[in-house]
């Protein structure tokens, strides 16, 4: 645990970053939380003002500061709209870590993050057991989203419609995959991420198929775990660092051109938060993180900009004959954090579907990781606005590049009884390749 002197230094560093905020309030108009509550304490400006006195508030009212800081989706909408370039998400995350160090983590969080999440093998084993027994407490629903709901009233699940654990997680797909670059001339490593491994394994299997089709060499090491964002967002720097250093060694075992993920949150965490947390530290790990984060790309970016799939695409679906109406939701961690928004749309069009834009495609869906757990009412209010915008397009499918957004949107659509499918753009593209192959053989 950090001593008081070190904590004081970290508070000072944070205060240096806070002076950049000019209190203009431009973050108000884009904050999904402020849009619902109209409380200054919920918007970035209000929270930054609170942190301005962190040195004092830390001792006087650490629980109050924590409570206010936790009421945030970490969506980065404020930072993307800030004229002064305040790195709001990084400041909030660092402040949460300081508070967690000062107050100590609760025993529940210690159990979840340090004993489970930070130990990939244990986490996999526990999720496998949870998958086996989930049917006792939850039941599958008959809807387009494929959600489940609780059999009995449960405070944890509430009235959620959630995606169940897969009975065939991605990690069971094969042993280590390690193939050489072929016609694309590229080799990419795949960082799977927890949600794709445990809930949406089809996305990972589609990635293997698409790489095979385009002749991309693939490296998928066994034993992967979480990118660390849940621990970091809760202020548990120890578990976060353990996961970062574990993955750095895992991926440094092989040479490849790009590290690709199909999860917007994993991409943003590896590309931005891994290096920013290690910034200023003199260590070999820091240099390795810097190199790896530079090579990290979202799957849509990789396929469109590096594989240049449109050049290879044979176009059997471009007749539009069998196309669906698809709308696209921009995950905050892709558009606001990384500026990626054209490429997923290109992938959807390349799969032969008609893309129809919804209003507020880049408005947050309300998920926000643990925000959805602790503030489900507010998360749902924000999510229902997204649900309405999706429904207004009359689409049959909504695509999005983040599995966490897929969970939230599935919940919102299922609660409203809307028969709209929720898919990753990669799934649509892989499906179009399969159909093209089928047509060619027919
Ligand atoms: S965070 Fe940025 S947008 Fe918000 S008040 Fe400060 S300077 Fe203005
Ligand atoms: S990160 Fe999102 S929810 Fe949090 S203050 Fe900024 S805009 Fe509001």
Q: Which residues contact 133 (CB under 8 A, 6 or more apart)?
A: none
Q: What is the pLDDT of residues 316-334, one digit of tens each?
A: 445 445 578 999 999 999 9
Which ligand is in closest contact with the Cα of 27? 1
Work out which ligand 2 atom sits closest to the CA atom of 371. Answer: 3
For ligand 1, pick from 27, 47, 90 the residue to mutate: most ligand atoms within 8 Å of CB: 27
Pairing of strands 138-140, 148-150: antiparallel
C-alpha of residue 81 to centroid of ligand 1, in Å = 8
Range from 237-251, 280-294, 337-351 carrying the lowest mean pLDDT:
280-294
Structure tokens at 219: 């490296």
Is residue 76 in contact with ligand 2, taking CB distance under 6 Å?
yes
Q: What is the pLDDT of residues 43-88, one digit of tens each?
A: 999 998 888 877 777 677 888 888 999 999 999 999 999 999 999 9
What's the confidence (pLDDT) of residue 316?
42
Please, how many CA atoms are within 13 Å of residue 184, restricted to the half-sphere of its CB?
29
What's the confidence (pLDDT) of residue 312?
45
* Residue located nearest, by CA, to atom 6 of ligand 2: 78
What's the confidence (pLDDT) of residue 15?
83
Is residue 78 in contact with ligand 1, taking CB distance under 6 Å?
yes
Please, how many CA atoms are within 13 Å of residue 239, restricted to the half-sphere of its CB?
28
Range from 132-146, 299-313, 366-380 carrying the lowest mean pLDDT:
299-313
- pTM above threshold 0.75: yes
Structure tokens at 413: 């659509």
Q: Are 394 and 362 in contact (CB under 8 A)?
A: no
Which ligand is in closest contact with the Cα of 74? 2
Work out which ligand 1 atom sits closest to the CA atom of 45. Answer: 5
Structure tokens at 311: 């050049």
């Amino acid at each position: 645990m950090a001593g008081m002197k070190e904590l004081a230094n970290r508070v000072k560093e944070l205060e240096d970053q806070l002076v950049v905020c000019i209190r203009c309030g431009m973050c108000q108009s884009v904050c999904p939380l402020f849009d619902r509550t109209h409380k200054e304490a919920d918007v970035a400006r209000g929270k930054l003002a609170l942190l301005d006195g962190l040195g004092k508030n830390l001792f006087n009212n650490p629980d109050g500061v924590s409570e206010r800081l936790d009421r945030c989706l970490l969506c980065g909408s404020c930072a993307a709209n800030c004229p002064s370039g305040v790195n709001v998400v990084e400041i909030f995350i660092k402040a949460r870590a300081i508070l967690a160090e000062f107050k100590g983590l609760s025993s529940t969080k210690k159990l979840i993050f340090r004993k489970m999440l930070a130990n990939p093998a244990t986490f996999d084993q526990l999720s496998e057991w949870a998958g086996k027994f989930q049917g006792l407490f939850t039941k599958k629903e008959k809807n387009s989203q494929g959600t489940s709901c609780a059999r009995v009233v449960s405070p944890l699940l509430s009235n959620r419609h959630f995606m169940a654990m897969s009975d065939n997680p991605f990690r069971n797909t094969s042993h280590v995959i390690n193939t050489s670059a072929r016609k694309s001339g590229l080799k990419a490593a795949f960082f799977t991420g927890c949600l794709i491994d445990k809930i949406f394994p089809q996305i990972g299997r589609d990635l293997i198929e698409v790489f095979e089709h385009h002749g991309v060499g693939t490296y998928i090491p066994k034993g992967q775990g979480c990118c660390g964002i849940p621990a970091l967002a809760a202020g548990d720097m120890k578990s976060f660092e353990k996961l970062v250093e574990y993955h750095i060694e895992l991926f440094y075992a092989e040479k490849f051109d790009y590290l690709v993920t199909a999860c917007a949150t994993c991409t943003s965490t590896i590309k931005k938060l891994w290096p920013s947390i290690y910034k200023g530290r003199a260590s070999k790990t820091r240099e390795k993180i810097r190199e790896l984060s530079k090579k990290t790309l979202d799957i849509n970016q990789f396929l469109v900009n590096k594989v240049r799939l449109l050049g290879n695409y044979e176009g059997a679906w471009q007749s539009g004959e069998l196309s669906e109406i698809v709308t696209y939701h921009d995950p905050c961690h892709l558009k606001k954090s990384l500026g990626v928004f054209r490429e997923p749309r290109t992938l959807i069009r390349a799969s032969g579907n008609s893309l129809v834009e919804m209003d507020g495609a880049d408005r947050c869906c309300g998920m926000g990781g643990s925000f959805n757990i602790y503030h489900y009412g507010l998360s749902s209010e924000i999510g229902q606005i997204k649900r309405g915008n999706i429904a207004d397009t009359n689409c049959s499918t909504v695509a999005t590049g983040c599995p966490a957004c897929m969970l939230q949107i599935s919940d919102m659509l299922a609660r409203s009884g809307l028969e709209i499918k929720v898919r990753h753009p990669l799934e649509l593209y892989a499906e179009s390749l399969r159909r093209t192959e089928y047509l060619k053989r027919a």
